[in-house]
Amino acid sequence: MIKRLLELIIILIGVSVLSFTFSNISSIDPAEAFTRRSIVNPSEEQINEIRHKMGYDKPMYMQYVHWFKNYNMENNFSY
């Protein structure tokens, strides 16, 4: 029973890491795309400000932790 639970946790962590990695492989900078939709001709400073607010200036592991926390807060797995 405990072995299966441990395996399930490892699989869930693996799937979440893969999901995060695949969503960040894109060659499009999400902060720049977001800024260009909001502002017609954004300056590099405005893009960097949005990048900082969205957390894309942080290391990848910190982005993953932030993403994982937000995902679990938005999608409450309890009933």
pTM recorded for the entire structure: 0.67
Please report, for residues 22, 39, 68, 79, the alpha-carbon distance to residue 17 in angstroms, rounded to integers and kept in the order given: 9, 32, 9, 24
For the chain, 79 residues long, give each residue's pLDDT as a single digit of tens. Answer: 899 999 999 999 999 999 888 888 877 888 888 888 988 889 999 999 999 988 889 999 999 998 888 776 666 555 4
CA neighbor of 55 nearest in space, from 26, 34, 75: 34
How far does Cα 69 stand from its chain's mean position?
A: 9
